[in-house]
Structure 1
Amino acid sequence: MTNELRNQAIALLRLALDDPTAKFRGGQWEAIASLLEQRDRLLVVQRTGWGKSIVYFLATRLLRDRGAGFTLLISPLLALMRNQIAAATRLNLQAATINSSNKDDWEQVKTQLLTGQIDLLLISPERLANDEFRDTILSRISAQIGLFVVDEAHCISDWGHDFRPDYRRITRILQALPPNLPAIATTATANNRVVNDITAQLGANLRIFRGNLTRQSLQLQNIYLPSPAARMAWLAEQLPSLPGSGIIYTLTVRDSERVAAWLQTQEIDAKPYHSQLQTEERETLENQLIDNQIKALVATTALGMGFDKPDLGFVIHYQRPGSVVHYYQQVGRAGRAVEQAYGILLSGDEDDEITNYFIETAFPPQAHTEEVLNALNKASDGFSVAQLEENLNLSRGQIDKVLKLLSLESPAPVTKQGTKWYTTPIKYQQDLEKIAKLTRIRQQEQAQMQVYMESQECLMKFLAQALDDSNPTSCGKCAVCLGENLLPTNYSLAKVNQAIQFLRRSDQIIEPRKIWIKNALPTYGFLGRIKDNLKAEIGRALCLWGDAGWGELVKQGKYQDNYFDDALIQGIIEMIQRWQPEPMPTWITCVPSLNRSQLVPNFSQRLANQLNLPFISVVQKVRQNSPQKTMSNSYHQARNLDGIFALDCSKIKPGAVFLIDDFVDSRWTFTVIAALLRQAGSGQVFPLALAINSLS
């Protein structure tokens, strides 16, 4: 039976790969046979591009042909799901997904599952946290599962850099399924610590298939270019000569947008890709890259695990990732089915600052956890997240993070009923020792990437050793092995100057708020939707706070000189000329401050002189309040401004007005003052700031 089964599997492999001579790679057939004949539970740790997905696709096809139920595949990213559904189709597997973007299809998918019409169901781990999905879908279909698959299994591990809390739910579901149900977990990026943790969570009977992690087609090089402008210049000069199309990874959404926009000005067809884009737009971008219709996607980690474009010619990192795990995972997108592909790691001065932010915010502080539990304990009938925001000076993201981690404890100290959260009788104690240990691990991983950046040994061997490959070997192809650069490390000064000018023209949009926060502004009586005749217009900020271009000059003016340089006035004037607000304001006023009473008025007066407009100080701050930057959510940001401002109505002009501030974060200051100005008879109010917080 084994030979017959193997022959069937080889025929399916050749069909899936559209290659009549294809053969199994070492370990692929053994994993498939283990699932089908021994009904084992497996952990497969193999290099990117080895073909982990083909193992569970072929196993699914063979099991279905034997009359088994459908395969449930837990997959971490929608991009990966779309990729996998396309691959499954080549094996005549009917695949479907249940996710947040197709809720209208849930009932139909459930019916098709129960009637055997679907071979493969893909869901995200976060879907397991959805009460409606668990109660109405999963409970009905669990008996029909024939194979259980966890892709990117390193996310299960507390010790893995890509840990996603909802992966913990997988362990509970697997425990509830029959012990003889075959299951497979796959990853390319699990060191020994992570493998041991996955084994502890999925069961001691887990069989481990582990292979060599060296990627023969990848050529690696590291280049340190401190400033964003230098890296942007390098990209503009080097991308056109690189083979095919590829991915440029950035650490933040804002850099994804900005680098793509810069490359477009250099006539390079690059587009941004990140989690804030709509599903349809992301799918379109993925297809454009797969079909070589664009040169590059400038992407965050939203385009990472499992994305499969076999002929991807290059992966460039605009900044250094926080761990070898992240880097190997991402650079491994390149060169899967070509003989040569580039993996170029650029590194800059801001890398550590960004990575430190991610490390420091990975877990909620003990104080946040205690605040949430105390508030829920005092609630007579539970609290919704919105009610928690009113009662706590924590952001929605901070509250959500606390509730998620608490709900995943077993037993859990909180429970959700409908839209409200309640405490349970469980006495909870945060494991501070474990959090401290995880934080140290993250810091060690960051330090390891710093060492890799300067490594004088084979770069591929360094990565394999860091991931505990049992037989790391030198690649003979990287810049270190060859003793010469794969790509030039220099760039032209003229291109750097162009990049600096681009950064100085990267105006930031200030979107107007549209709804008042309930109960936040009782003194002013602002409620419901903000009426058009009280709403601020779309505004502009000259730069991102502390950013390359103008950002450092703004920061220096505010915190060192207590005076904004004349160059910033010229920058604002040029921005207004690009912007051309309609109608053009006929006067200028500003947001008052009790701490730095002359800083913004002085700047506003000098700007008004240059624009030949009157500056009129009509807004007064009647009492001191806490700094807006200390307010963590919209309710408290708005509440902090209630009754703070008064207007000298006798000075207000009826024409449109520029409302100036040095820094904008929540936008509530602009929103409240704009409404007061409009109430008092001013024309349209155009917010104008020197800098904007990139998270606002």
Structure 2
Amino acid sequence: METGLTWQSYPPEKLLVERFHIPTGFHPGQRDIIEQLVHGKRILAIQRTAWGKSLCYQIASLYYPHLTIVFSPLKALMRDQCQRCNTMYAIPSAIVSSDFSEEENQATMEQVVAGNFKLLFIAPERLDNAGWQKYVIHMRISMIVIDEAHCISTWGHDFRPHYRRIVRLLSALPKNVPILALTATANKRVEQDVLQQIGEVTQVVRGTMQRPNLHLNVETLIGDQEKLSYLAEILPYYPGTGIIYTATKSSAEMLATFLIQRGINADYYHAGREDTVRQDIEQKLMSNQYKVVCSTNALGMGIDKPDVRFVIHYHIPASPIHYYQEMGRAGRDRKVSWCILLYDPTDVTIQEYFIRNARPEGKYYEMVLSLLRMNAQGLRESDLMLTTGLSQKATRNILADLEEQRFIEHNPKSRTYTAISRLGQMDFSAYDEVRLQKLQELSNIQNYVQCDTCYMEYLTTYLGDEPG
């Protein structure tokens, strides 16, 4: 494998053309980010979907002799990026994920330690894995990338507790190891929270969120009958392939079944389907074998398909940020595409339910803490799920909150949690504040539906652009 290139002999403009086959030059800001990374800086890049955020770390990694670790929340996204790096850009890359057996992941990490890869894609959840703990201390790390960095913030629209584990890794690295945090959806509050997590010395590079090739519209339709009739009428006239987002798994299944019965080539996608089935749907979507895929937000960020021609929301999303993220799947090739929100005021109750139930009730926190206090040797996440009957998501949220408030501590080697001797009660006020903020964001997406200004301007201003 090649060692790091030099800036003088191989400037980024040359790499862009010869290695990445892009003759049109960098977008404003891309080259500067690459140069800052090569000089060991920490960057938070807040740039719109399809701006080319991944290109920044892909090029920067070539100037370093050792490994770049890319933390990503979705396996589909990792598969796509890894394949591109290996087959199109000649960057030796690998994935460690639950798609592979422990033996396969172990073999990959042995090759990583041996220096056979430039890029390693991995989900933050793997940071708790004993195998990861065994090998990471032997990895020569040149750079860290945190994709979808808003997931590290409790104020973000897709907070994931395991993203906080990345902070521990960062604190153990030398200060001159460059860090690139990437997101397309961070308002000022999320931005400040991310900076607090990864370091205040981080430089923020914020670009415009405008997507001028997207045509946005809202259709007020009451009930499934009106929505289904509308879709059956308009879908045959839309060019290309698209995605219809639903708030629930059952709605995705119902909608796909309806469209198939109307002769429209469709399928449904959600986290409840088998991994192999989801991968098959992803591949067929990428090769335009469907007219439309009906999906929960599980499809979301995981598909890097440039020619999605339309994105339709069957239910109102949870916030303007959710909407911008999901509609942003459309028109990544910068060609004209359509984004339609089907608005039924009663659908708001679905999102209200999700927001109010995002965190378990206080009694479940007490149950988990009591179990840990009774088991001095510690318990694993799986032990707690089995004993309490809580879902993995609920258990992880409880453990993350208890750890944050220092009621428990985590042992990464044994992957167990143990109670810390301390007095006092859980402070739920911060979580109540987050819940109220989420309800306000739901109100803001209702304001979007009813706004009398440009829909795109409403969204981009909400995300931090200057009005006008």
Q: Is residue 330 of structure 2 the alignment partner of residue 331 of structure 1? A: no
Structure 2 unaligned segments of length 5 or more: list them: none
* Counterpart residue number, 2:404: 409
The one-character-per-residue Cα deviations of 1:207-240 (angstroms, maximum 9, x if unpaired) are 0111111001100001121201221221111111
8 A Cα contact 2:408 2:417, kept in partner? no
Match of 2:89, SS state, is coil
Cα drift, residue 100 of structure 1 = 1.2
Q: Is residue 82 of structure 2 the alignment partner of residue 85 of structure 1? A: yes
Partners of 1:399 and 1:147 lie apart in 2 by 32
In 2 relative to 1, CA 301–175 (structure 1 residues): closer, same or farther, beyond 3 Å?
A: same
Letter in 2 for 1:9: P
Letter in 1 for 2:219: I
* Counterpart residue number, 1:369: 365
The one-character-per-residue Cα deviations of 1:377-409 (angstroms, maximum 9, x if unpaired) are 2457666678757865x5344762455324642
* Counterpart residue number, 1:106: 105
Letter in 2 for 1:208: V
Partners of 1:191 and 1:155 lie apart in 2 by 13
Letter in 1 for 2:79: R
Q: Which stretch has the larger CA shift, 207-216 or 271-280?
A: 271-280
The one-character-per-residue Cα deviations of 1:600-630 (angstroms, maximum 9, x if unpaired) are xxxxxxxxxxxxxxxxxxxxxxxxxxxxxxx
Larger Rg: 1
Cα drift, residue 290 of structure 1 = 1.3
Cα drift, residue 276 of structure 1 = 1.8
* Counterpart residue number, 2:126: 127
8 A Cα contact 2:359 2:394, kept in partner? no
Letter in 2 for 1:116: G
Partners of 2:151 and 2:244 lie apart in 1 by 23
The one-character-per-residue Cα deviations of 1:319-376 (angstroms, maximum 9, x if unpaired) are 1110111110111111111420001111224422211121112222222111221233
Partners of 1:323 and 1:346 lie apart in 2 by 15
* Counterpart residue number, 2:48: 47
* Counterpart selection for 1:462 from 452, 458, 462: 458
Cα drift, residue 439 of structure 1 = 0.8
- Where does 1:281-680 land on structure 2 (aligned, <5 Å)? 281-305=277-301, 307-379=303-375, 395-397=390-392, 400-401=395-396, 403-406=398-401, 408-409=403-404, 411=406, 413-415=408-410, 422-427=418-423, 429-469=425-465, 471-473=466-468
Partners of 2:415 and 2:179 lie apart in 1 by 34
TM-score, structure 1 as length reference: 0.63
Partners of 1:305 and 1:293 lie apart in 2 by 20
* Counterpart residue number, 2:15: 12
* Counterpart residue number, 1:59: 60
Q: Is residue 153 of structure 2 the alignment partner of residue 151 of structure 1? A: no
Cα drift, residue 304 of structure 1 = 1.2
Letter in 2 for 1:34: Q
Letter in 2 for 1:24: F
* Counterpart residue number, 1:136: 134
Q: Is residue 72 of structure 2 the alignment partner of residue 75 of structure 1? A: yes
In 2 relative to 1, CA 448–62 (structure 1 residues): closer, same or farther, beyond 3 Å?
A: same
Q: How many residues align?
A: 461
In 2 relative to 1, CA 101–427 (structure 1 residues): closer, same or farther, beyond 3 Å?
A: farther
Cα drift, residue 35 of structure 1 = 0.6
Letter in 1 for 2:206: R
Partners of 2:9 and 2:232 lie apart in 1 by 50
Cα drift, residue 107 of structure 1 = 1.9
Match of 1:140, SS state, is coil
Partners of 1:98 and 1:108 lie apart in 2 by 10
Letter in 2 for 1:43: L
* Counterpart residue number, 1:25: 27
* Counterpart residue number, 2:92: 94
* Counterpart residue number, 2:227: 231
The one-character-per-residue Cα deviations of 1:288-324 (angstroms, maximum 9, x if unpaired) are 1111111111111111125211111011111111011
Partners of 1:412 and 1:420 lie apart in 2 by 14
Cα drift, residue 137 of structure 1 = 2.6
8 A Cα contact 2:43 2:203, kept in partner? yes
Letter in 1 for 2:13: I
Cα drift, residue 184 of structure 1 = 0.3
Q: Which has the higher contact order (CA 8 A, sep 6+)?
A: 2
Partners of 1:381 and 1:197 lie apart in 2 by 34
Match of 1:92, SS state, is coil
User: What percentage of residue pairs aligned between the two structures are identical?
Assistant: 36
* Counterpart residue number, 1:174: 170
Partners of 2:378 and 2:302 lie apart in 1 by 40
8 A Cα contact 2:316 2:342, kept in partner? yes
Partners of 1:389 and 1:438 lie apart in 2 by 25
Match of 1:159, SS state, is coil
Q: Is residue 268 of structure 2 the alignment partner of residue 272 of structure 1? A: yes
Q: Which stretch has the larger CA shift, 4-13 or 350-359?
A: 4-13
Cα drift, residue 440 of structure 1 = 1.0
Match of 2:137, SS state, is helix
8 A Cα contact 1:41 1:207, kept in partner? yes
Match of 1:220, SS state, is strand
* Counterpart residue number, 1:673: none
Letter in 2 for 1:12: L
The one-character-per-residue Cα deviations of 1:150-209 (angstroms, maximum 9, x if unpaired) are 001111111111111111111111111110001100101000111111111111110011
The one-character-per-residue Cα deviations of 1:396-447 (angstroms, maximum 9, x if unpaired) are 4476245532464274515468687542324464232211111111011000
8 A Cα contact 2:320 2:445, kept in partner? yes
Match of 1:313, SS state, is strand
In 2 relative to 1, CA 59–70 (structure 1 residues): closer, same or farther, beyond 3 Å?
A: same
* Counterpart selection for 2:255 from 255, 259, 262: 259
Partners of 2:252 and 2:19 lie apart in 1 by 34
* Counterpart residue number, 1:675: none
Partners of 2:393 and 2:115 lie apart in 1 by 42
Q: Is residue 203 of structure 2 the alignment partner of residue 204 of structure 1? A: no
TM-score, structure 2 as length reference: 0.92
In 2 relative to 1, CA 123–397 (structure 1 residues): closer, same or farther, beyond 3 Å?
A: closer
8 A Cα contact 2:385 2:395, kept in partner? no
Letter in 1 for 2:24: A
Cα drift, residue 256 of structure 1 = 1.4
- Where does 1:179-198 land on structure 2 (aligned, <5 Å)? 179-198=175-194
* Counterpart residue number, 1:625: none
Match of 2:308, SS state, is coil
Partners of 1:121 and 1:350 lie apart in 2 by 44
Partners of 1:207 and 1:98 lie apart in 2 by 29
* Counterpart residue number, 1:490: none
In 2 relative to 1, CA 405–219 (structure 1 residues): closer, same or farther, beyond 3 Å?
A: same
In 2 relative to 1, CA 421–113 (structure 1 residues): closer, same or farther, beyond 3 Å?
A: closer
The one-character-per-residue Cα deviations of 1:442-484 (angstroms, maximum 9, x if unpaired) are 0110000001011110000000011111x344xxxxxxxxxxx
The one-character-per-residue Cα deviations of 1:243-272 (angstroms, maximum 9, x if unpaired) are 110111111111111111111111111111
Letter in 2 for 1:139: I
Cα drift, residue 13 of structure 1 = 2.0
In 2 relative to 1, CA 246–428 (structure 1 residues): closer, same or farther, beyond 3 Å?
A: farther
Letter in 1 for 2:112: L
8 A Cα contact 1:12 1:91, kept in partner? no
In 2 relative to 1, CA 403–440 (structure 1 residues): closer, same or farther, beyond 3 Å?
A: closer
